[in-house]
Amino acid sequence: MKVKNFIKDVGGASRVTKARLNAFASASPALESTDPIGDVSRAWHPGPIELVVTKITPACKTAKTIRFERTDGGKLPFFYAGQYIVLDFKIGESLISRPYSISSAPFEARAEHPFVEITVRRSKGDGFICDYVNDELKVGDILTGTMGLGQFYYEPLRDAYHVVALAGGVGITPFASMAKEVVNGTLDIDLTILYGSVSSDDIVMRDELDKLDGVCDKLKIVHVLSGDEPGWTGEKGFLTAEIIKEYSAEDTTYFICGPQVMYKFLHGEVAKLDVPARRVRFEVFGQVKDIAVYEGYPRDLRDETFELTVVRGISEVKIPAKSCESIVVALERAGIRIETGCRSGECGFCRTKVLSGDYFVCPEGDGRREADKDFNYIHACAAYPLSDMKIKIPIL
Amino acid sequence: MKFYKDHYDVIVIGGALAGLSSALMLADKGLDVLVLERHNLPGGIATSFVRGGIEIEAALHEMMSIGPKENRLKVGKFFDDMGVDIDWLPVPECYHASLPGLEVTLHPGLERFSREVDEQVPGTYDKVLKLLKLCDTVFNSVNELSIHPMSKPQMLLKHEAFVKTAGYSTKEVLDTFDLPQKALDLLAPYWIYVGSGFSDLPFTIYSVLMADYVGYGSMIPKKLSHEMSLKMAERAEEMGVQIEYRQQVDKILVKKGKAYGVRTARGDEIYADYVISSAYPNKVYTSMIEPLTEVPAEATKMVNGRRLSLTAFSVILILDKPAEELNIKDYSIFRGDTMDTDVLYENLAGLGPYRYLTCICHNYGNPGVTPEGTCSFSVTVLPRVDGWKTVAAEDYDRVKHEVAKQLIDDMSDYFGVNLLDHVLECVIETPMTIAHYTGAWNGCIYGYAHTMEDHIVARLQTAEAERFIEGLEFAGAHAISGDGMGPAVTNGRKAAKNVLDDIAAKEAKR
């Protein structure tokens, strides 16, 4: 066996070792190594940041827009129009998180006076955080938020240039962000928003939207009222296939965000349009109102309360958990922190190991990995206890 | 509330393949181990995610060193020994090479591969087989010497080919075979898995690469690489390892030259006799050691004297047609407008257009991985960190889309089908994505470049002298064996072995 000659061949190992030691010997002794790629990742996703409420304005008679700035006044993270922010609230003994679509635009988060806004509607009795935001939150309040989350945004390599947004009620918020970005010239799409409301005084963010409409030929906003209202000259009825078609281009991507009943209705209407599946994008479903309506849920257990043993590190605590509420809700009620994102079962932020016990997983948007299912992992925001249970969650 | 024990034998920073391999091996020997992982699941980039209801592989193209059940290679054997039972699927081919003047699919098996090269470049069979057999000999020596070190004269006697090729680059050894350019081109595509041009890549590394992949073929886990990572983590916990997710380690505590614990971002101080770090030495020696005055000058010089290797950029598409209807016919396609690896290595220093692409269609190795009527197709380049270090946060989205578009357009031209007309889901993974999820220094997944100045043989020779802080070991692509998911396991085992040897030596002294 010979590569060059015997002496050179057998001296290889010593030669390369010398070369390596020489390289180190002549290297700088200063601590100069930097991580600019990591720095960019942190500019987009810094993790939880501290925010202060700086302005609250009515967005219609039942909703408010809350403006947040960083407590240090600095720029907010980059994000895509359509994404959401998760805000952490401490109410009494409870530690509660909620995702809200960002209603301000990405360029506003990076402006000279950077801010981010959410627009929240008072609930009809089922969302006490929405009411808290509307009634209790005040200028100067400080909370933490994690932003730039979710997949509900325009992706140029996937979506058509013509976008028809189908919005219902407060589901307008991600589209308000997109509209502002289009008008600002930083989102290059042709956007038509079909916005369904019950009555004209029920239209969330109407003033802001009307100011944007007509400013730029790439944005059109069409209000559609389902209620009968004297003097209304705009579109009437529901967001049916017929009206959607009227505003569609030959190749259109549909973005859909609104209440759960609207999703069910629009699944049917969009099917009538006969467009490929890749052209239809729904925002996540949200927390289901009543888990007991789903097939497979044992209805006789719906009013039970079980014991939930929560393991963090080498410690354990026991808390009550209602069978009709997700495990995340049980933890939040007990003041135990758990990280959540979409609260729809999809994103996996609240991925949790089940050590023992039975549970029901909401079939709406079950985003678990296959191997996770095999090893009893749940997304705790979409899993409901059906017996006493023991789970392990991260130490936060 | 008390979340940690007062003391552990070993704290492992990072619950990816290397860290979990360390943990498995140490727990197997009865040690008390704590693994701290910053993400909320194990695996690092050996993971998956769900988009639009479809579970998508994040990183693994093909896993080396597994081998069939009856004839396991070292990583496959380690999993078996540890009781980590993964559902492996064989990858059906080595690769489809799409190179100037060549369109050919090559398959594993030294003879078969040589025959297939010969069909393209007649008259090369003997030489190619001789080369691959030389690789195999060197590969066997490397494996044996990593378990049973021996003296230099002994080595020359028993591992002659390994010793005599160790001082040469891949190009220097390949030149002695006097092969036509086309044959050389067909022997080069895997270069990207080790990431240096042939004039600077140690032949030792090339040998291991070719012998392992071409000789034995590669595997993928049925439920994607998350199956592998999760099964390792689950087995480790079963063996008594405590794994805590969402725990970022900020500091490694050192006193009088000895590591004694860590502090997490949450503020927990946790103590142990040993710390194994998956965080890069660059990060450890510049910001994690507390106090920094405990960092010896040699450690800083070592970090500054080494070159970071490759990171990754992938655009992963879920397409709304079966692969064959889109003219996608192979599991893996390596496509380049040249196969001159030195030229390509220079090209990887920039931000594109990139000239060497690696494509995977998982459906061919793992039928049913996407729903009926769809397929998964990814295009990857493995750039050097240099170009991506220059991208500012405000330009990031634009650059990422420009590069992704180039990759998709290039493959659309190749297939004669505009892939953009079929995109159900589109995920772009960048060096920044990797940095975000794993914390890897500059998003680098390959550790330090395998070069003639940072040769694996030299790394082994000087390894002892580079254990600068007592009780601190490193496990990850930045460790001796370098990049790849197979070597990650080997790196993790080596770190665990150092700890075990150290304990044994101390006990012997006592």
Q: What's the whole-number mean pLDDT along residues B201-213?
A: 98
Q: At which residue do the structure tokens 């990759």 appear?
A: B407
Q: Is B435–A37 a contact, with Cβ atoms under 8 angstroms apart?
A: yes
Which residues of A, range 373-392, sit inside 8 Å of B by Cβ? Answer: 374-375
* pLDDT above 80: residue B273: yes
Interface residue of B160, B171, B245 to substitute, partner A, most A CBs within 10 Å: B245
| Shortest Cα–Cα distance, B239 to chain A (Å) | 15
Q: Report, as an integer, the average pLDDT of B291-310.
A: 96
Across the interface, do B426 and A374 touch by the CB < 8 Å criterion? no
Contact assignment for A38 to B441 by CB distance below 8 Å: yes
Q: Which band of pLDDT confidence, cut at 50, 70 and 90, is reported for residue A126?
A: low
First vs last C-alpha separation in chain B:
37
Distance (Å) from the alpha carbon of A111 to chain B's nearest alpha carbon: 12
A185 touches chain B (CB under 8 A): no
For residue B42, the chain A residue with the least C-alpha distance is A372
CATH T-level assignment (fold) for domain A297-392 = Ubiquitin-like (UB roll) (3.10.20)
Specify the pLDDT at position A111: 97
On chain A, the residues whose CB falls within 8 A of the CB of B225 are: none
Residue of B nearest to A311 (CA): B3
Ramachandran sector of residue B452 (left: φ over 0; alpha: ψ -120 to 50; beta: rest) = alpha
Q: Are B319 and B422 in contact (CB under 8 A)?
A: yes
Fold of A42-149: Elongation Factor Tu (Ef-tu); domain 3 (2.40.30)
CB < 8 Å to A372, chain B = 226, 230
Q: The domain A162-282 is classified under which CATH number: 2.70.40.10, 3.40.50.80, 3.40.50.2000, 2.30.30.30? A: 3.40.50.80
Average pLDDT over residues A123-130: 72
Say if residue A365's pLDDT is above 90: no
CB-nearest to B244 from A13, A20, A395 is A395
Give the number of residues written for chain B: 510
| Chain B interface test: which of A181, A278, A344 (most B C-beta within 10 Å) | A278
CA dist A168 and A197 (Å) reads 6
pLDDT of residue B148: 84
pLDDT interval class at A31 (50, 70, 90): confident
For B222, nearest residue in chain A (alpha carbons)? A371
Residue A375 CB coordination number (10 Å):
14
- In the block, tokens 């953009």 appear at B420
Question: Does A15 reach chain B within 8 Å, measured CB to CB?
Answer: yes
Q: What is the 3 state secondary structure string of B19-77?
A: HHHHHHHHHHCCCCEEEEECCCCCECCCCEEEECCEEEECCCCCECCCCCHHHCCHHHH
Nearest residue, CB atoms, A151 vs list B4, B51, B301: B51
Q: What is the pLDDT of residue A282?
A: 95
Residue B307 one-letter amino acid: R
Q: In chain B, what residues touch A394 (CB-CB under 8 Å)? A: 40, 244-247
Closest to B427 measured CA to CA, from B62, B54, B39: B54
Q: Give the total residue count for chain A.
A: 396
Chain B contacts in chain A segment 121-160 (CB below 8 A): 151, 155-158
Question: Which residues of B are less than 8 Å from A13 in CB distance?
Answer: 152, 163, 166-167, 457-458, 461
H or E element in which residue B199 lies:
none
Among A43, A313, A368, whose Cβ lies nearest the Cβ of B244?
A: A313
Q: Where are the beta strands (DSSP E) in A23-93?
A: 49-60, 63-70, 84-91
Per DSSP, the three-state class of A201 is: helix
- B8-83+223-306+449-509 maps to which CATH number? 3.50.50.60
A47 touches chain B (CB under 8 A): no
Q: Which residue of A has its CA nearest to B320?
A: A278
Q: How confident is the prediction for chain B on average, in pLDDT? A: 97
d(CA A350, CA A343): 8
> Tokens 């600068």 correspond to what residue?
B468
Measured distance CA(A134)–CA(A143) in Å, rounded: 15
Contact A37 B246 (CB under 8 A): no
Does A396 contact chain B (CB < 8 Å)?
yes
Nearest CA in chain B to A364: B53
Name the residue facing B458 among A3, A16, A278 (closest C-beta): A16
The tokens of B216 are what?
């034995």
Q: What tokens appear for B115 in the block?
A: 């025959």
Q: Which segments of chain A does DSSP mark as H helices, in order?
A: 6-10, 12-25, 36-44, 106-109, 128-135, 173-183, 206-212, 241-246, 260-273, 327-333, 370-374
Grade residue B152 by pLDDT with cuts at 50, 70 and 90.
confident
For B310-441, CATH gives 3.90.660
Residues 6+ apart with CB under 8 A from A296: A360, A363
The C-alpha atoms of residue B282 and residue B490 are separated, in whole angstroms, by 21
Q: Residue B123, Cα to own-chain centre: how many angstroms? A: 35
pLDDT (tens digit per residue) in B342-390:
999 999 999 999 999 999 999 999 999 999 999 999 999 999 999 999 9
- Region for residue B261 given its phi and psi (left: phi exceeds 0; alpha: psi -120 to 50; beta: otherwise): left
Residue intervals in chain A for CATH 2.40.30.10: 42-149
- Interface contact flag, B163 A15, Cβ < 8 Å: no
Is pLDDT above 80 for A127?
Answer: no
ipTM topping 0.85: yes
What is the count of residue pairs from A and B with beta carbons less than 8 Å apart? 236
Q: Please check the confidence at residue B297 and state whether its pLDDT lies above 60.
A: yes
Give residue A269's Cα distance to chain centre. 25
Q: Which of B167, B244, B282 lies at the smallest CB-CB distance from A33?
A: B282
Given an 8 Å threshold on Cβ–Cβ distance, is A19 in contact with B453? Answer: yes
Nearest-10 Cα torsion for B161, B165, B167, B172: 170
- On whether the CB atoms of residues B288 and B439 are closer than 8 A, the answer is no
pLDDT of residue B121: 98
Tell me which chain A residues have a C-beta less than 8 angstroms from the C-beta of B429. Answer: none
Q: What is the mean pLDDT of residues B199-211?
A: 98
What is the pLDDT at residue A61?
Answer: 92
Q: Give me the phi and psi of A386, to 5 degrees please.
A: -120, 5
**For B305-354, what is each residue's pLDDT tens digit?**
999 999 999 999 999 999 999 999 999 999 999 999 999 999 999 999 99
> Alpha-carbon distance A237 to A225, whole Å?
6
Cβ-defined contacts of B256-264 (< 8 Å, 24+): B257/B294, B257/B469, B257/B470, B258/B469, B258/B470, B258/B471, B259/B469, B259/B470, B259/B471, B259/B472, B260/B471, B261/B11, B262/B11, B262/B13, B262/B36, B263/B290, B264/B36
pLDDT higher than 70, residue A4? yes
Nearest Cβ partner for A33 among B5, B304, B420: B304
Residue numbers in A near B202 (CB within 8 A): 16
Mean pLDDT to the nearest integer, A256-282: 95
pLDDT at A125: 57
Question: How far from A246 is each of A46, A103, A243, A252, A266, CA to CA, in Å?
Answer: 43, 27, 5, 12, 16
| Closest residue in chain A to residue B402, using alpha carbons only | A157
Contacts of A348 in chain B (CB under 8 A): 40-41, 49-50
Q: Does A7 touch chain B (CB under 8 A)?
A: no
C-beta atoms of A9 and B298 within 8 A: no
The answer, yes or no, to whether residue A124 has pLDDT greater than 80, is no
> If you average pLDDT over residues B416-442, what whole number do you get?
98
Residue B38 and residue B58: Cα distance in Å, rounded? 17
pLDDT tens-digit map of A301-331 = 999 999 999 999 999 999 999 999 999 999 9
Beta strands in A181-296 (DSSP E): 190-197, 219-225, 235-236, 252-257, 280-282
How far B389 CA lies from chain A's nearest CA (Å)? 5
**What does the pLDDT read at residue B17?**
98
| pLDDT score, position A33 | 77
Query: Which amino acid makes up residue B266?
Result: R
CB contact under 8 A, B439 and A38: yes
d(CA A164, CA A220): 10
